[in-house]
Amino acid sequence: MKAKKLVHLLLGTALLLGIGTGWAKQAQFPTKPIQVIVPMAPGGASDLTARAMEKLAKKYLGQPLVIVNKAGASGVIGYNELINSRKDGYTLGLSAANMLLQPLYGITPNNYGELTEPICQAVFNPVAVSVLADSPIKSIDDLVKYAQANPGKIKYAYSNVGSLPHILSGMFVKETKVKMGPVPFATGAESTIAFLGGNVQLLFSSLVEVKNHAKDGKVRILAVSSASRMPDLSDIPTLKECKINAEATAWFGICAPAGIPKDVKAKLVDGFKKIVMDPEFKKTVENIGFYVEYLGPEESAAKWKNEVKEFAQAIKESGIGEELKRQAGKK
């Protein structure tokens, strides 16, 4: 009888030690470097955001981040690798508004908004509506009145069919009911060069593309697409202040494959929040031209859900979806 009790005691102790060891292993996460898939080429906005986080990872996560660029198919290649990776917290992705758009365009059958879960949002950058500094158009109201009086005379540029600047231009035209001529370009740099050269009269672009030109006196930014004015450009109104119901901002954050362990997620959320709130991170991204805006996982999830609805409506009403289909048919 005593022998049986001793065996039970030893088994119980072993089980407790085993469980304790399991807890200890979980508590140690992360025990190795964390890979972050950036679904764009090196040197772009998403890549620079990830590398700004990389500098502070060891300090707040205890392990370094390994940035892996997986460019191609407008982010689809990188996001597909992310959703098919192990759900252990050691493979993350750089989230962006782009990941919500691709399924809406039919570019991929994978709904990344459901197949991934947000860890945080880190930065954002609004779309700017700009004219050259010597333009007689001084405001959004001037622009609308001129376009109404001169249908089709204004040519406007944007980068990439289906991009946020393109979506915002569609929202703008729908809201104002003006007729203007769209001129798409492959990249933001190309559309900005054409605009600065006077080949088009109006530009819808990421604010970062025109901010320095505005400060140099070459460009007049009429409005931005954010919910509120930018702190360093407080004299520039938002489109909503100009009574144009159009809001769309580029943003970047961190996401994981849906279904990672809760305790692992909690550690990632805590670590990345500290990274984003660090003054060094803020300084780095502001030098790039972005704005820090931290959103936790719940706030980010709500934002994703809301944006999918808004993007779907804007794509349908602006005809962008049909335009993409026509382009695909030409290839």
Matching CATH topology for 33-124+249-318 and 130-248?
A: yes
How far the first Cα of the chain sits from its last, in Å, is 81
**Predicted confidence (pLDDT) at residue 201 exceeds the cutoff of 70:** yes
- Quick one: CA torsion of 34, 35, 38, 44, rounded to 10 degrees? 70
Residue-level pLDDT at 23: 42
Please, what CATH class does the domain formed by 33-124+249-318 belong to? Answer: alpha beta
Give CATH for domain 130-248: 3.40.190.10
d(CA 174, CA 245): 10
Asked if the model's pLDDT at residue 11 lies above 50, the reply is no
**CB < 8 Å & 24+ apart, contacts of 65-72:** 65/33, 65/34, 65/35, 65/36, 66/33, 66/34, 66/35, 66/36, 67/36, 67/38, 68/35, 68/36, 68/37, 68/38, 69/38, 69/40, 69/41, 69/42, 70/37, 70/38, 70/39, 71/39, 71/40, 71/41
By C-alpha distance, which of 78, 85, 79, 76 is closest to 108? 76
Q: Where are the domains of the chain?
A: 33-124+249-318, 130-248
219-270 residue pLDDT tens: 999 999 999 999 999 999 999 999 999 888 999 999 999 999 999 999 999 9
